[in-house]
């Protein structure tokens, strides 16, 4: 029997779980997982680390992609071929500050191809380069979910710089796919800056994403950016902006994929919950969103991570805003678990669940949720979660003499 490959090990560990179930568990796209199992995509450490942890592999998957201790890392390989291209790599990557984009994660042949594409984009930029940049973006997103935004920001910015550099000189038929990857990357950078509570920079990068989506006539991406702007308005509880942008995202000619439409309709329902509070309208919107999500389970492309668990928690937030706190708490209990979400997202939703406990006048439970969320916010550098915890502390002021509430307040001040 030969040595087990990474794909074989992943398929074995997955067992009877469907690709959809693994995607929901890990926040890694089903297509990405399928490609790893079938050898169509090279496994990279950020993604493998998440899979290893969530599937309980105890380091088995990580070991299959990590070099043996006796081997030197690729960056310092003494191989003669490496010596031949070292100057090319320095000129192509380091001069542009792009070393963090590709050097740590890919093989030498792939590295030479990317270096050539950056040096002479008109001649060498091709579909393989575009596919590599998309893989790097996927890995960067997986790393963000596992470890937070600060490690991902320089890599994502490097990807944007690489796209811009190549697009300037690439042939016309390659410029479009390059800029489409650039639009998705710029939107992702906007999300990263939102998570570290830098809204001006987040808006700048969402606008860049919109610009590149418009330049390539990528209508779904333009609608998706409108949805992301609506969701960012939630951070300031700007209900009218949330509602109008969520409505705009659903209009022609954007043609959003069904699972993104579901998210936009849910966001519209939250806007109505915060403005009119009309439960007939809210329930009708949520029913439509739920139908879109159920009818189209195979989510691909933008927002492929959107699943039933995330939808359930967004509905819980909507019910809280509509004053239906008991119904919201049922959804939190049903869907919120550390197995279903990344540590960063789990901490964020814990802070919002704490708000639901406040509305139910259960300050001790709210403070306990706040303490756990605070630890996760600090671990993953999520300023967005920290802001929600500060909001929670403010709402707990009527119980400020309780030991649990004082403990949370002191922990925040610390």
Give the model's pLDDT for residue 218: 94
What is the gyration radius of the CA atoms in the chain, in angstroms? 23
Q: Are 283 and 273 in contact (CB under 8 A)?
A: no
CA atoms within 13 A on the CB side of 287: 6
- Tell me the per-residue pLDDT of 146-185, one tens digit each, with 9 for 90 and over: 778 877 887 788 788 888 888 888 888 889 999 999 999 9
Give the residues of the chain that fall short of pLDDT 50.
1, 69-79, 81-82, 84-85, 88-89, 95-106
pLDDT of residue 98: 47
Phi-psi region of 264 (alpha: psi -120 to 50; beta: other; left: phi over 0): alpha
Position 123 scores a pLDDT of: 65
User: Residue 357: its pLDDT value, please?
Assistant: 98
The string of DSSP codes covering 289-354 is HHHHHHH-----STTTT--HHHHHHHHHHHHHHTT-HHHHHHHHHHH--TTTS-HHHHHHHHHHHH
Domains for the chain: give ranges and CATH numbers: 1-71 (1.10.260.40), 73-217 (no CATH)
26 close to 16: Cβ distance less than 8 angstroms: no
pLDDT of residue 142: 83
The 10s digit of each residue's pLDDT in 59-108 is 888 888 765 544 444 443 444 544 544 554 455 555 444 443 444 444 55
Quote the pLDDT of residue 120. 60
Contact 256, 250 (CB under 8 A): yes
pLDDT of residue 407: 97
């Amino acid at each position: 029997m030969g040595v087990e490959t990474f794909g074989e090990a992943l398929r074995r560990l997955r067992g009877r779980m469907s690709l959809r179930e693994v995607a929901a568990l890990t926040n890694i796209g089903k297509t990405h997982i399928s490609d790893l199992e079938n050898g169509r995509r090279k496994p990279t450490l950020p993604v493998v680390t998440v899979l290893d942890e969530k599937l309980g592999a105890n380091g088995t998957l990580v070991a299959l992609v990590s070099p043996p201790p006796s081997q030197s890392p690729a960056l310092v390989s003494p191989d003669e071929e490496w010596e031949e291209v070292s100057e090319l790599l320095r000129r192509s990557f380091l001069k542009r500050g792009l070393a963090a984009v590709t050097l740590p994660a890919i093989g030498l042949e792939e590295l030479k191809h990317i270096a050539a594409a950056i040096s002479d984009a008109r001649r060498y930029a091709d579909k393989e380069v575009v596919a590599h940049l998309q893989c790097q973006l996927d890995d960067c997103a997986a790393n963000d979910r596992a470890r937070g935004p600060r490690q991902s920001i320089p890599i994502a910015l490097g990807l944007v710089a690489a796209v811009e550099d190549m697009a300037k000189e690439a042939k016309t038929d390659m410029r479009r796919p390059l800029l489409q990857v650039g639009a998705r990357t710029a939107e992702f950078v906007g999300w990263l800056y939102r998570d570290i509570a830098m809204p001006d920079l987040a808006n700048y990068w969402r606008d860049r994403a919109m610009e590149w989506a418009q330049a390539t006539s990528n209508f779904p991406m333009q609608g998706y950016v409108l949805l992301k702007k609506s969701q960012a308005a939630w951070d300031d509880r700007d209900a009218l902006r949330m509602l109008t942008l969520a409505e705009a995202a659903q209009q022609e000619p954007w043609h959003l994929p069904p699972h993104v439409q579901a998210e936009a309709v849910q966001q519209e329902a939250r806007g109505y919950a915060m403005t009119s509070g009309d439960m007939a309208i809210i329930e009708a919107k949520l029913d439509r969103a739920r139908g879109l999500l159920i009818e189209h389970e195979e989510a691909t492309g933008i927002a492929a991570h959107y699943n039933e668990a995330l939808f359930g928690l967004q509905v819980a937030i909507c019910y809280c805003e509509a004053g239906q706190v008991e119904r919201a708490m049922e959804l939190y209990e049903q869907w919120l678990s550390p197995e279903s979400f990344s540590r960063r997202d789990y901490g964020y939703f814990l802070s919002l669940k704490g708000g639901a406990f406040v509305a139910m006048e259960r300050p001790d439970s709210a403070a306990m949720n706040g303490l756990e969320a605070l630890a996760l916010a600090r671990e993953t550098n999520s300023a967005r979660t920290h802001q929600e915890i500060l909001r929670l502390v403010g709402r707990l002021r009527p119980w400020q003499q309780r030991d649990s509430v004082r403990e949370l307040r002191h922990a925040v001040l610390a």
